[in-house]
Structure 1
Amino acid sequence: MNQTSTQYQNFHKTRIAPTPSGFLHFGNILSFAVTAFIARETGARILLRIDDIDRLRTNQEYVQDIFDTLNFLQIPWDEGPRNTDEFEDRYSQVHRISQYNKAIENLRVNGLLYACNCSRKQLHEHNPVGIHHCNCREHQIPLSTENVNWRLIADNNQVSVKKLSGEVIKTDLPAEMHNVIIRKKDGMPSYQLTSVVDDLFLGIDLVIRGEDLWTSTLVQHQLATALGEDKFSKIAFYHHPLLMEAPGKKLSKSAGATSIRYLRQSGHSAAGVYKAIADTMGINGPVINWKELGEAALRAIK
């Protein structure tokens, strides 16, 4: 992909949406830089949305790392929390639980949910390739049953996605993503549900994310349709290639050599971190800030 600003349409708002389940690494920064660059090219404001709905995996040290890393690398954002206290007081997803529950109730009232008591182990044993298939829908297990997932009933698995260019493509949802979980066994909403509700509530019209989340994009479009939220189809999506640790293995959140926290504490400069990311990507030439990394990355993606 090699487009100038005149080839982009204008957008209102995009988001940086890290999950506080580990220390941020090179791959996160690449995504943030691409997001920030495209936002500035298209006039979109940048919202910082920290996805902490999974409180069991959320660690306050990881939340703090998000602010430390963004500030250290001078990655800009226009809306959202500026520190951990502000995040907990006003912006945590726990403050939007009522909205998530309202969306779940919408699906329940319209008969678009069924209870599933299959464990991951059971699903894997019967379907080692990861395709969800069980007889729970036919068994009509009451939704009031304890310790069950609530899954989406959606028989139409074709979705349409608007791309950054404005082109709309139609594609089928992969079989392994059919009947996505909407409410988990602990009663909490799933990531897919909260992401759709948040993007609609927060006025997002541009989503930039890694290509590993392509299937999530498809699921979220299907879910938005089930919720009757036509506005979601107006959101443009851009999926960038991932920074790989090894062929077929994407970078994971860790305290290792590719975590920004490790490099910062080891005395590396922000410019040095950007150069290291560019070197990992095989990008030649000076790259010392988020704008140069975002621009160089987009130039390299064709």
Structure 2
Amino acid sequence: MAPTPSGFLHLGNVFSFVLTATLARRCGASILLRIDDMDQQRVRPEYVQDIFDTLHFLEIPWEEGPRTPEDLKREWSQLHREALYQQALEALKAGDKLFACDCSRSRLQHTGGVYDGHCLHRQLPWDAPDVCWRINTATPLSLDMRTAKGVLSATLPAEQRYFVVRKKDGHAAYQLASVIDDDYFGVDLIVRGEDLWDSTLAQLYLAQLAGMDCFGDTTFYHHTLLMETPDKKLSKSEGATAVRYLRQQGKTKADVFAAIAGMLGIREHAADWQTLGGLLLDHYPVLRQPVPTQY
């Protein structure tokens, strides 16, 4: 669950869960439940509890990771791995691969939301107030993404150039924490939505720059998204697609899986996640379309 449990889970989350569980079973892999909770100001207990409630309600299994919110705090929280994040940041800084940046959100809005490297050569102090750390992506790298369809070659998109690895609050940013966590837990199959394609490329760039070869050997599966409207993806909310709302309306797990199948145009009945997962992988052509070989 990335980057923060900041809302109630919706049908799109369940769709991703089902794909993950199905792929794991077919690969003989274990499923790791990872909840990114570094941004403690946005984490709310009811959202964390909702993750466990939803997985139990739908009977979707996982083998590794926390079993309860208390277990998350006690053993699995990202806060327990903060020393690893800081160690990685210091290594990147020592290798002259980072720079400090004090650009405001308003300035980024003036550049269309794409960072232009404004602070790359300003040599701002690392510990100055309101400074984040960005990775120097000026050197182009050829990125090889392993997928079920084979290895795809790509380059870092403009939107991900000079991405943030340490936030202004001093904590590791999502891209760095995610790569470190995957390496720490030995993750070698990652299932995520196609909207995170750019993030995957940023993480592959970071891993290559940091010499984390194991991450480069990871297989990625980017799936299509469930859409609220043709141009709007589902969001975490208490709306009609939130599993919590559906449960309050008396819907069963079979109703939830049927709703997902219906949104994808699948007419076959799916009473459980195993059946839905099989339909998704075997009969839904959009999921079998290869992602672009160049980006």
* TM-score bucket (shorter structure): over 0.9
For the residue of structure 2 that corresponds to 1:162, the secondary structure is: strand
Q: Shift in Å at residue 288 of structure 1?
A: 1.2
* 1:223 equivalent in alignment to 2:206: yes
SS of residue in 2 equivalent to 1:106: helix
- Which of 147, 163, 172 aligns to 2:147? It is 163
Please say if residues 140 and 155 of structure 2, whose CA atoms lie closer than 8 Å, have aligned partners that are also in contact.
Answer: no
Maintained 8 Å contact 1:30/1:293: no
Contact 2:35 2:77 in 1 (8 A): yes
Query: Letter of the aligned partner of 2:28 in structure 1?
Result: G
| Counterpart Cα distance in 2 of 1:19 and 1:239 | 19
Residue 184 of structure 2 corresponds to 201
Deviation at 1:157, TM superposition (A): 4.1
Question: Cα 1:252–1:190, aligned 2, differ >3 Å: closer, same or farther?
Answer: same
The 8 Å contact of residues 25 and 259 in structure 1, kept in 2 or not, is answered as yes
Deviation at 1:186, TM superposition (A): 0.6
Aligned to 1:149: 132
Within-5 A mapping of 1:85-234: 85-125=70-110, 127-128=111-112, 130-154=113-137, 155-165=139-149, 167-234=150-217
C-alpha contact (below 8 Å) 1:157/1:178 kept by paired residues: no
Alpha carbons 1:150, 1:184 under 8 Å: kept:
yes
Q: What's the TM-score once normalised by structure 2's chain length?
A: 0.93
State the secondary structure of the residue aligned to 2:38.
coil
2:232 to 243, 249, 256: 249
| Amino acid paired to 2:33 | L
Deviation at 1:164, TM superposition (A): 2.2
TM-score by length of 1: 0.91
Structure 2 unmatched runs, 5+: 289-295
Aligned counterpart, 2:22: 37
Cα RMSD (Å) of the superposition? Answer: 1.2
Larger mean CA deviation between 154-163 and 214-223 belongs to 154-163
Q: Give, in whole Å, the separation in 2 of the partners of 1:282 and 1:168.
A: 30
Could you tell me which of 75, 84, 95 is aligned with 2:69? 84
The one of 31, 34, 39 equivalent to 1:54 is: 39
3-state SS in 2 of match to 1:115: strand
2:265 paired residue number: 282
Partner of 1:6: none
Larger RCO (CA within 8 A; separation ≥ 6): 1
Deviant stretches of 4+, over 2 Å? 16-19
Correspondence for 1:265: 248
Shift of 1:134: 3.9
Q: Contact 2:3–2:174 at 8 Å: present in 1 too?
A: no
| Structure 1 unaligned blocks of 5 or more | 1-15
Cα distance in 2, alignment partners of residues 192 and 38 from structure 1: 24
